[in-house]
Amino acid sequence: MIQKFIDFLRFEKRASPHTIKAYQTDLEQLEVFLLEQYESKQPERAESVMLRSWIVSLMEQGANPSSVNRKIASLRSFYSFLRRRKIIDKDPAQVLVTLKTRKHLPEFIEERAIEQLFDEEEFPDDFTGIRDLTALELLYGTGIRLSELLGIRLSDINLYAHTLRVLGKRGKERIVPLTGPLLKILPIYLEQRAPTEPTDRLIITDSGKPAYPMFIQRMVRKHLAVVTTLDQKSPHILRHSYASHLLNRGADLNAIKELLGHTNLAATQIYTHNTIEKLKKSHQEAHPKA
C-alpha cells in the first residue's frame, strides 16, 4: 500500500521529489517499527495505539519535534488516502496530536552584504564566472527556489517582456519579472552557453550537463562565504533575503506571496516578524527611554 500511496503523490498530487522521498522514508520507518514491535509489516492494519507508540519512541530517542510533526503529517496523509480509497474504515491517525515547536525566524543576508556580493566581488569573464553570476542573480533577483532554478528551460525566458516563467510546487506555474541586472547578464550568458548543448536547461555545469542541487549549493556557499558569516549559506537564504528586502522597502505582502509562489498568505507572513524585529532593534538603539 505504501507504493500505491507514493504513486498517488507522484502522479496525481504531483508532489515534489523531496516530499515524496520524505513521506516514503517515514512510512518505511513505521513499517520497520511495526514489524519489530508488533510482528506486523502492514501499516494499513495499524491501530491508533501502535501509531502513538511509534511517536513516543521517536520522542524518547530525542527526535526533533519538527521531524516528529512531519512524520505525523505523513501518517495523516497516508491514512486519509487509505480511507478515501475505502481500504480502511477508520483512520487511526486522527488521534495523533502535533508537538509544539519553537518558531524560527528565517535568516536573511543584509542588503549591504548583497550589494557587496554583486557589486564588489569579482566574477571571471569566462563561462563559469558568468554562469555563477547568472544563477546568483536569478536566486536573489527573483526569489525562486533551488528546484525552480534547476527546472528553468531556455524557452521560459522572455527578454522582450522582461519575464521568467517558473514551474513551482505541484506544477503550479507563475510569471516573475526579471531585474535590470538579469536583463544585462542573461544575454551574455546565453551567448556563452553553446546553443548546441544537448539539454535545454538554462543552468548547466562546465561539462554542459544540467546543473544539479549539490552543484548549485556548493557554488552558492562558496560565494556567500565571502560576504556573510551566517552558518546557513544556501540558495534558500537568498530567497529569504529577497522576500525580507522587498518587505523592508514597502512591498505589498500579497504581491510578495505571488512572487514567491506561496499558496497562502500565512507562509509569507513569517517575513513580517523579521521586519518587526528590525523595528524593535531600531527603537532600542534610538529611543531615549528604550
Known active-site residue 271: yes
In whole angstroms, give the CA distance from residue 200 to residue 214: 20
Q: Is 78 exposed, middle or buried (0-12, 13-18, 19+ CB in 10 A)?
A: buried
158's enclosing H/E stretch is: strand 157-158
C-alpha cell at 275: 521586519
Known active-site residue 236: yes
| Of 71, 145, 193, 245, catalytic | 145
Known active-site residue 174: no
Known active-site residue 262: yes
Known active-site residue 38: no
- Coil/strand/helix, residue 166: strand
**Contacts of 251-258 spanning 24+ positions with Cβ under 8 A:** 258/174
**By C-alpha distance, which of 119, 174, 164, 169 is closest to 139?**
164
Q: Under a CB-based contact definition with an 8 Å cutoff, are residues 139 and 235 in contact?
A: yes
Known active-site residue 170: no
| Of 13, 52, 76, 236, catalytic | 236
| Of 13, 52, 174, 262, catalytic | 262
**By C-alpha distance, which of 74, 53, 63 is closest to 101?**
63
| Of 131, 223, 239, 240, catalytic | 239
Residues with active-site annotation: 145, 169, 236, 239, 262, 271
